[in-house]
Amino acid sequence: MHPFLGCIGVAPANGEARSSIVPAEFGGNMDAPEVSVGNTLYLPVNVSGALFYFGDGHAAMGDGEIAGSAIEVPMRVRLQFEVVKGKRTGWPRFENEKEIMTTGIYRPVDDAVRIAFTELVAWIHADYGLSELDAYELLSKVGKIHLTEMVDPNYVVVASVEKKYLPKK
């Protein structure tokens, strides 16, 4: 088992009304196992109060959730919130002791991969001091991707790099 929340997000920007089924830059039905104990999730705040929501508990799921289902279960969760002032993210991000991770949520899948890696390059540049070109080169050598969702209207890709490869903050 690897319990996680399949659906987690905030309100989209510009007063847009969107279904929580379709993942996008605000989160939503990402079905990302990275939404689990030990990981911090960073979401953009697009409206006053963020209008956070969650659900779709999973006990386990294969990569891509290819048949549109997982071992879906009710869950009791404890969440802790913090507003990170002075930082901005356009897409969901994750972090834990060992790695940093960014999402690309789009269709086709190559665009989702590009978004995820572009976001990871920007994060490494902003917080770890590598030039964008050096971050890009680093990810070409040690970056990883995980296709978490491929059955909803948008694909979800998580790009990651282990912190051991990054300069110390």
pLDDT tens digits, one per residue of 49-94? 999 999 999 999 999 999 999 999 999 999 999 999 999 999 999 9
Q: What DSSP line would sit under 63-102, residue for residue? A: GGGTTS--EE------------TT---SS-EEE-SSEEEE
DSSP 11: P
pLDDT tens digits, one per residue of 3-47? 999 999 999 999 899 888 899 999 999 999 999 999 999 999 999
- Find the mean pLDDT for residues 95-109: 98
pLDDT tens digits, one per residue of 112-121? 999 999 999 9
DSSP 35: S
Q: Which CATH class is domain 93-165?
A: alpha beta
**80 within 8 A of 89, measured Cβ to Cβ:** no
pLDDT value at residue 27: 97
pTM given for the model = 0.95
Could you state, in order of their start, the residue ranges of all structural domains in the chain?
93-165
- Find the mean pLDDT for residues 116-129: 98
